[in-house]
Amino acid sequence: NQMITNQIKVLRDKFKDFEIDGYIIPKNDAFFSEYAENDRLKNISKFSGSAGLAIILKKNNFLFVDGRYTIQAENESGKNFKVIEIHKNLPNSIIKNCKLGFDPHLFTSKKLKHYFSNDITLVAIDENLIDKIYKSKPKKTKPFFSLSKKITGESHQSKIKKITNFLKLNKANYLFVSAPENVAWLLNIRGHDNPTSPIPNSRLIVGRDKTLLLITEKSNAQKIINEKKISKTQVINFDKFKKIIGDLKGANFIIDNQSCSVFSEKVIKSQFKILNKTDPIYKFKSIKNSCELKYMVEAHKKDGLALTKFIYWIKNIN
């Protein structure tokens, strides 16, 4: 607890550099996953639950959690934080008239509007302040891999055509696919970036002129480059995002307000008109083809069998 108190003091000492009264720390990472490799919320609060939001002010610390975690949060963080159930009190019902710093890579505009009212001034700070206190080593992950058409029931080329048709219909030049699970569906790829599901941490720009740019590290895309699903020049590191957006020609961009960060939205907005729509992939992937239906039935059989075996075991444990 003394270490956490000291780290909070170090964080507060940085407030004057940015002329802020407090700093917001969410649980999620830049891909909006609850399984953040760099768990900044746990680092600064000791809270280890899968969802939460901390706000550290000059004199008070608040930890907002949902009903699953009130007891756990009290046990892990109660000495340094006032624990609040977020469904009963949003941050804007408690924190008023101040300037709060936040990392624009970790929030969507929609989420900020939901949590904070107009009398709070939000200050985007590109460099995460928790990272200045805790140095985390990036984990090496295995490269993304492709699923065969036998499993997906539809080729990635056919799926991309659906997107380009959607863009033409909506008079849009580009779609920014910011949710990694939608990149997975569109390109028929999977990855190893999440402990519980095969998420490929990446983003994608799709143009109606057939532009296709995968935003991830080259090492992640090595397998799909080798199989010629995508070329080397179509893989862009995220630190080149501003340059890439600056180089694109056209008038407007569709972004998804559920998963496009404030940072990415600002970069795109500097060059293009934003058409704020839901990513069409959510709808496309919700309509299952015959192949997907077949494998869903198989998955339910396996799941039902596993559950039946478990119930039998637990009833006969003695």
Percent of the chain predicted with pLDDT > 90? 86
* Mean pLDDT for all residues in the chain: 94
Measured between its terminal Cα atoms, the distance across the chain in Å is 43
Cα→Cα distances 18→11, 13, 56, 57, 124, Å: 11, 10, 14, 13, 10
Answer yes or no: is pLDDT of 307 > 80.
Answer: yes
Residue in this structure with the two tokens 């490799």, named with its chain if needed: 37
Burial class (CB in 10 A: 0-12, 13-18, 19+), 278: exposed
pLDDT(114) > 80: yes
- For the stretch 152-189, pLDDT in tens is 999 999 999 999 999 999 999 999 999 999 999 999 99
Q: How confident is the model at residue 111 (pLDDT cuts 50, 70, 90)?
A: very high
Question: pLDDT (tens digit, 9 = 90+) per residue, 238-269?
Answer: 999 999 999 999 999 999 999 999 999 999 99
* pLDDT-derived band at 134, boundaries 50, 70, 90: confident
| Percent over 70 (pLDDT), the chain | 100
More confident residue, 196 or 59: 59
Mean pLDDT over 69-97 rounds to 93
pLDDT score at 277: 80
User: CA 84, CA 95: separation in Å to the nearest integer?
Assistant: 12
Under the banding of pLDDT at 50, 70 and 90, the label for residue 138 is confident
- Distance of alpha carbon 121 from alpha carbon 98, whole angstroms: 6
What whole-number distance in Å separates Cα of residue 143 and Cα of residue 111? 31
pLDDT digits (tens, 9 = 90+) for 193-213: 988 899 999 999 999 998 999
Whole-number pLDDT of residue 141: 79
Is residue 137 scored above 80 in pLDDT? Answer: no
Q: Tokens in use for 8?
A: 């909070």
Pair 306, 299: CB distance under 8 Å:
no
pLDDT at 17 over 80: yes
Q: How far apart are CA 222 and CA 228, in angstroms?
A: 10
What pLDDT shows up at residue 38?
86
What's this model's pTM, rounded to 2 decimal places? 0.91
| pLDDT score of 139 | 75
Calpha distance 129→201 (Å, rounded): 23
Is the pLDDT at 106 greater than 90? The verdict is yes
Task: Count, in order, helices (H) and strands (E) of the chain.
Answer: 13, 14
pLDDT at 276 over 80: no
Examine the pLDDT at 2 and tell me if it is beyond 90.
no
Residue range 293-297: mean pLDDT, rounded: 96
pLDDT band at 54 (very low <50, low <70, confident <90, very high): very high
